[in-house]
Amino acid sequence: MADPRPYVLLIDDEPHSLSAMRMALEDEFEILTATDTRTGAELMEEEWVQVVICDQRMPGQTGVEFLSAIRERWPETVRILITGYTDPGAMADAINLGGIHQFIAKPWHPDQLLMATRNAARLFHLARENERMALEMRLLSSTAETKLEKRRRALRDGLGFETILRAPNSPMIALVDAARQFATFDVPVLLTGEAGTGKAQIARAMHMASLRSDRPFYALNLGGMPEELVALELLGAKRGAAPGATNRIGLLQKADRGTLYLSGVDTLPPALQLALLRVLTEGAFTPLGGQETISTNLRLIVGAHRDLAALVADGLFRPDLYYALSVADLTVPPLRARRGDVAILAQHILVEVAARHGKLVHGFDAAALEFLENYDWPGNLRELTNEITRMLIFAQDSILGAELISRPILQGPPGEAGADRSAQAVLTGDGTLKDRVELIEMRILRETLTRHRWNKSRAAAELGLSRVGLRAKLDRYGIADPTGRATQDEEED
């Protein structure tokens, strides 16, 4: 379909002039005519006019005045003035007031008028195309920014506080609330807690919620590293100062404008404690083998397994560094203090481990979750992950049962009123020999029955008990299948 012909408005108070202009242009354009500017303005309201050709000498209003007026309302319309005057001052006024695209002097030639109108229509078309392209560019730019922001939001959600799983009454709720509050303030953070409690995850979440979220996040575990290696990793080295011929850029420089998380800061040697203090107070450090000072603007988050205040009191940690680090001092609770969280964490870990190993499982049965919830988890999240991985490896069904759980965990009681959680506590605690032996016996009975899926014949055979003797002990201690399943008569021949 061909493009519609452009509309051209001709304004002249002399009818023969209007007729002559129409004849020159009507083969290529849709022509509108008016003998006065008021009628011309009305036609502009009714039609989408691309070019206006107006005579300068008009009754009541000059052509320049009219073109200046319509410029306010229809700035994209191309304006041409026909005039018998050639005074340069008048032309300059016309350009300034009316934004005149072109002057056509009287007497004009039809070809001259046609060429000027063609150029004006082309100019109108180019201006509209430019406006369209500019709009598209703005839209594309806005869309690109929106996509980038969506990606950043997805990254923040994927690595932020949303990934820290917790039950409605979990002690992690207060910790996460405090961490969120500190995250947006550019201050050092000290995370204290046992190994494996998830301090690194909290540090990354704080980075993603901070003003530095679009900058890099680096993490280094200092525990067990030799002092020379820690210095090299943090400070970097100039050529020849460390093995290898090239310069080595340290994390203090790499993390500039980003965040650096140092786990095990309580093991940091004294010389490096001083270097870290300089970073916090001066924002500077010196690479190994170098003389120059390098500036760095990083946010420091550190993790400590031991109480830094106690180390300060023992003279093992610099007090000035401790106070510089502890602007935000957060304690991460161990897994044994997160009773309601273990089931949620176990299910989440199982999904990840199953996907990694390509094994189809759906979850845990009630008894398994009860045992997992009631274990102390001295190894915290790492131990929980290892246990679930081991259960997955030996699983034969899509639901993981309690019989897959390791024996030390199975020996834990199903509730707070059961036997002691720790065999060591029983061995070293108070009480008569008979009471303490019975507590151990209860744990062994429960663990053995669970491994054998409460098949009492098999459990009795392993324990060297008769069927009657096992039943008597279960009745004495009130031990029953926690799933509530009906007991089969497994003891009968």
Confidence band, pLDDT 50/70/90 cuts, at residue 477? low
**Is the same domain home to 303 and 342?**
no
CB 296 within 8 A of CB 282: no
Q: At what angle do helices 433-451 and 467-477 cross, to 10 degrees?
A: 110
Number of domains into which the chain is organized: 3
Domain boundary among 111, 129, 147: 129
**Is the same domain home to 37 and 173?**
no
Q: At what angle do helices 366-373 and 380-394 cross, to 10 degrees?
A: 150
At 54, give phi and psi (nearest 5°).
Answer: -125, 140
**Is the same domain home to 301 and 411?**
no
In a domain, 143, yes or no: no
Domain boundary among 129, 150, 185: 129
What pLDDT was estimated at residue 484?
58
What pLDDT was estimated at residue 86?
59
More confident residue, 487 or 57: 57
Look at 21-30, 78-87, 222-231, 309-318 and tell me which has the smallest mean pLDDT: 78-87
- Average pLDDT on 413-419 reads 41
**Is the same domain home to 375 and 321?**
no
What pLDDT was estimated at residue 415?
43
In a domain, 405, yes or no: yes
In a domain, 395, yes or no: yes
Q: Is 432 exposed, middle or buried (0-12, 13-18, 19+ CB in 10 A)?
A: exposed
The closest of 236, 302, 235 to 267, measured between CA atoms, is 302
In a domain, 305, yes or no: yes
Q: Model-level pTM greater than 0.75?
A: no
Listing DSSP states for 25-36 in one string gives HTTTSEEEEESS
**Is the same domain home to 320 and 380?**
no
**Is the same domain home to 322 and 204?**
yes
**Is the same domain home to 266 and 167?**
yes
Residue 59, classed as helix, strand or coil, is coil
Confidence band, pLDDT 50/70/90 cuts, at residue 421? very low
**Is the same domain home to 166 and 297?**
yes
Q: How far apart are CA 188 and CA 359, in angstroms?
A: 42
In a domain, 155, yes or no: no
Residue 489 has pLDDT above 50, yes or no: no
What pLDDT was estimated at residue 150?
58
- Average pLDDT on 51-71 reads 87
In a domain, 2, yes or no: no
Confidence band, pLDDT 50/70/90 cuts, at residue 74? confident
The CATH number of the domain holding residue 83 is 3.40.50.2300
What are the Cα distances from residue 306, in Å, to 106, 176, 264, 301? 97, 21, 9, 16
Q: How far apart are CA 273 and CA 321, in angstroms?
A: 7
What are the Cα distances from residue 448, in Å, to 17, 409, 472? 113, 12, 16
Each residue of 293-322: pLDDT tens digit? 899 999 999 999 999 999 999 999 999 999
Confidence band, pLDDT 50/70/90 cuts, at residue 491? very low
Look at 252-256, 366-370, 456-460 and tell me which has the smallest mean pLDDT: 456-460
At 247, give phi and psi (nearest 5°).
Answer: -70, 150
CB 69 within 8 A of CB 44: no
**Is the same domain home to 420 and 456?**
yes
**Is the same domain home to 343 and 329?**
no
Mean pLDDT of the chain: 82
In a domain, 12, yes or no: yes
Residue 436 has pLDDT above 90, yes or no: no
- Average pLDDT on 445-470 reads 73
Q: At what angle do helices 37-46 and 63-73 cross, to 10 degrees?
A: 20
CB 291 within 8 A of CB 328: no
Each residue of 89-136: pLDDT tens digit? 666 666 666 678 888 888 889 999 999 999 989 888 888 787 777 777
Residue 203 has pLDDT above 90, yes or no: yes
More confident residue, 361 or 191: 191
- Helix or strand holding residue 127 (H, E): helix 110-159
More confident residue, 13 or 447: 13
Cβ neighbours of residue 426 closer than 8 Å, sequence gap 6 or more: 419, 420, 436, 439, 440
Q: How far apart are CA 66 and CA 289, in angstroms?
A: 79
The CATH number of the domain holding residue 256 is 3.40.50.300
**Where do we find the tokens 């201006």?**
127
Domain boundary among 318, 333, 348: 333
- Domain residues for 265? 162-333
In a domain, 426, yes or no: yes
**Is the same domain home to 314 and 365?**
no
What pLDDT was estimated at residue 172?
92
CB 79 within 8 A of CB 95: no
**Is the same domain home to 41 and 117?**
yes
